[in-house]
Amino acid sequence: MDHQTDPLALQAEALRRRAEGQRIGFVPTMGYLHQGHTSLMDIARSQCDWLVVSIFVNPLQFGPSEDLDRYPRDPEGDAAKCAGAGVDTLFMPQHFYPSDHSTSVAVAGLTDGFCGASRPNFFGGITTVVSRLFGIVQPSVAVFGEKDFQQLAVIRRMVRDLAMPIEVIGGPLIRDTDGLAMSSRNRYLTPERRQRALSLSGALKHMQALLSQRGAGTSAETLLAAGREILDFDEFDYLQIVDPDTLKDMPIIDRSARALVGGYIGGTRLIDNMALIP
């Protein structure tokens, strides 16, 4: 596996490979990798000739009181996981943004609610960093996890709106054996708080079970009320049922929908989501 730290050198290599007709696969991450990340690499590996994974903790998507400085890092362990997944090039930039970087990319509408409502810098930071990464890596296909369902929808809209010739694939959400959605931030949870965090997946599963029982035409509020009874947040952010493509609320569940949940347990922000199928 090749290690690269220079954005311009990586871009030159990517352009050379594209000129040769190679299909470039890309998985952008912030590191502290787990099985959820490597599952995305597996998907990308099957879709490309040259697979690039980036590890960069992007400061633009963190608010002033968030965990940028203490965000978990494990560069040696991450490199081993990437090598094991068949990654060709691991990109860990030392200097990512030019000193006079002054351009931002924003997607309106899809970023207004959910995580975007409580983290105003978040999605602008994501779309800006991903746009620059796309320019450097020149991918034919990029894989993002469905764990961050709103982010996946935002990236797809950005790629469509800016006519980027990139196929965006969503990788299934991966759960730990206890049902908790895998996340680099799970390491912040004490055993007691981790147990409470299982209320996220528990609420979503309960909503699906109730929908299966009542069938198409069930009101979203009926399902949401049932889910809220199970959630055990210290600080509740959102629980909503939306159209999977537009992220608009669905008051009546008459077709496949997506339930999204987010909040804080002991200062750790957790999110989860699940398809709801009548």
**b/e map of 98-117 (b: 16 or more CB within 10 Å)?**
eeeeeeebebeebbebbbbe
Q: What whole-number distance in Å separates Cα of residue 71 and Cα of residue 77?
A: 15
E-strand spans in the chain? 2-4, 24-29, 50-55, 89-91, 141-145, 167-171, 218-219, 235-242, 252-253, 257-265, 268-276
pLDDT in tens, 132-152: 999 999 999 999 999 999 999
Residues 204, 259 contacting (CB under 8 angstroms): yes
Q: How many helices (H) and strands (E) does the chain have?
A: 8, 11
The verdict on whether 34 is a catalytic residue reads no
Please report the DSSP string for 168-186 in residue order: EEEEPP-B-TTSPBP-GGG
pLDDT in tens, 11-26: 999 999 999 999 999 9
pLDDT in tens, 159-217: 999 999 999 999 999 999 999 999 999 999 999 999 999 999 999 999 999 999 999 99
At 118, the pLDDT band (50, 70, 90 cuts) reads confident
> In the Cβ-directed half-sphere of 27, how many Cα atoms lie within 13 Å?
29
Instruction: State the pLDDT at residue 121.
Output: 81
Instruction: State the pLDDT at residue 63.
Output: 85
Residues 147, 182 contacting (CB under 8 angstroms): yes
Q: Which domains does the chain have, with CATH numbers?
A: 2-171 (3.40.50.620), 184-272 (3.30.1300.10)
Averaged pLDDT score across all residues of the chain: 96
Instruction: State the pLDDT at residue 65.
Output: 75
Average pLDDT over residues 264-270: 95
Q: Tell whether the torsion through CA atoms of 55, 59, 61 and 62 is positive or negative.
A: positive
pLDDT at residue 259 tops 90 = yes
pLDDT cut 90: percent of the chain above it: 94
Average pLDDT over residues 34-63: 96
Q: What angle do CA 126, 131, 133 make, to 5 degrees?
A: 95
Q: What whole-number distance in Å separates Cα of residue 220 and Cα of residue 241?
A: 7
pLDDT cut 70: percent of the chain above it: 100
Residues 73, 57 contacting (CB under 8 angstroms): yes
User: Which residue among 37, 95, 101, 206 is the active-site one?
Assistant: 37
